[in-house]
Amino acid sequence: MRQIQKRYIYAAILASIFFIVLYVVLTIIGINLVVRILIPVILTIGIYIGGIFFFRKEDVRELNGESINNYYYLASKVNNEANRTEDKDIKEITEEISKLTDSILVSLSQRPKKVEYTFDFFDYYLDISYKILYKYNLIKNKEEKTKDDKEFISSTKKYLENVLEAFRKQAKNMQEAKMLDIDTEIKIFEKTSGINKEDVMVGGKDE
């Protein structure tokens, strides 16, 4: 899922500080209660909205060499984990995910207006792919496996097939210049695949 964008946090902090300071000042100079609440509230809303636009640059992500290399790096981490397995099907799935990552990035260079949407897609799906494989390899190397461990191992291929389907859909959308709500797509993925990032946390934290 998308994280809360920094501009909203910064704008909220700025607006909160402004409200408190103005309220204290109006209280000191003896303005009546209704006015010293109403005026700060109205002005604070304006400060908050202005702050969102002022801090917008904090959230704008650009399509450049650094961002592209970052997602190729994340894709390579997925491949590295897949190469640790002996499962041919898992390797084939991750190889196709890697190829689709390349295809999506090529399409993105032709349609740069879809940068935020595509980056949000990669942030979620490449990350969860890596975490699924990391947990899979960790469990496979355990001498004693619990019932949950065995269920996860047997379901790993299904999880990755669902990820692959999301990549195929994204690649098709890029070619057709379509944009879907990424948060809605992720919710659908988690519901249909039966897995989310909480399920692939290892050792109490994300790996």
| pLDDT, tens digit (0-9, with 9 covering 90-100), for 57-92 | 655 566 667 778 888 899 999 999 999 998 999 999
Q: What is the pLDDT of residue 17?
A: 93
- Give the burial class of 203: count Cβ atoms within 10 A of its Cβ; 0-12 exposed, 13-18 middle, 19 or more buried: exposed
Q: What is the pLDDT of residue 63?
A: 60
Q: What is the pLDDT of residue 1?
A: 45
Q: Which residues of the chain are modeled with pLDDT < 50?
A: 1-2, 204-206
- Is the Cβ–Cβ distance between 10 and 55 less than 8 Å? yes
Angstrom distances, CA of residue 75 to CA of 72, 94, 124, 189, 191: 5, 9, 12, 19, 24
Q: What is the pLDDT of residue 112?
A: 60
Q: What is the pLDDT of residue 57?
A: 61
Q: What is the pLDDT of residue 11?
A: 84
Q: What is the DSSP letter of 162?
A: H
Residues facing residue 205 across a β-bridge? 202
Q: What is the pLDDT of residue 204?
A: 42
Q: What is the pLDDT of residue 196?
A: 81
Cα atoms in the 13 Å half-sphere on the side-chain side of 102: 6
Count other Cβ atoms within 10 Å, centred on residue 178: 12
Q: What is the pLDDT of residue 202?
A: 65
Percent of the chain with pLDDT over 90: 42
Q: What is the pLDDT of residue 60?
A: 53
Q: What is the pLDDT of residue 206?
A: 46
